[in-house]
Amino acid sequence: MDLKSYIREIPDFPQKGVSFKDITTLLKDGEAFKYAIDQLASKVEHLGAEAVVSPEARGFVVGGALAYRLGTGFVPARKAGKLPCEALSGTYTLEYGVDCLEIHKDAIRPGQRVIVCDDLLATGGTISVVANMVKELGGSVAAVAFLIELTYLPGREALKGYDVISLIRY
């Protein structure tokens, strides 16, 4: 199945010069969505991960489905101020701004193997901060996995030292 054909591109969104990759057109097609998650799972299931950690918001859709498919737990990395218990924070730069994510301090056990997953790899800032928080909490990042990778941006370079897995490349 050609997953790229299910991605809608929106020019100049959210700002001029950015070509937004809209995954809602893939998500609304049950067969394509299932195929994408099954393909991603087949690339990481051998890693023995015990949890999937994903950033808000589209990452929740991909990461939650991947965790379900793998039979692991799911750990949300939420926007600042959204978690009810003591949390670890990390700030990062997007290709068009700055943001902050938090993970509950008790969400990752020392030595726990996790897959950090998001919908899209661009500059690598989001996943770098999530992976760093996982490590700070004592976890081990088995891989970083994405539905889409923008190969013309330095995301893979920012994630040197991690096993980077992506299904669709632009």
58 tagged catalytic: yes
H-type helices in 20-166, by residue range? 24-27, 30-44, 58-70, 125-136, 155-158
Q: Residue type for 24, please?
A: T
102 tagged catalytic: no
Tokens of 33: 């969505």
Catalytic residue among 58, 69, 113, 156: 58
Using CA atoms, how far apart are residues 110 and 40, in angstroms rounded to an integer? 25
Catalytic residue among 56, 95, 113, 156: 95
Show which residues are catalytic. Answer: 58, 95
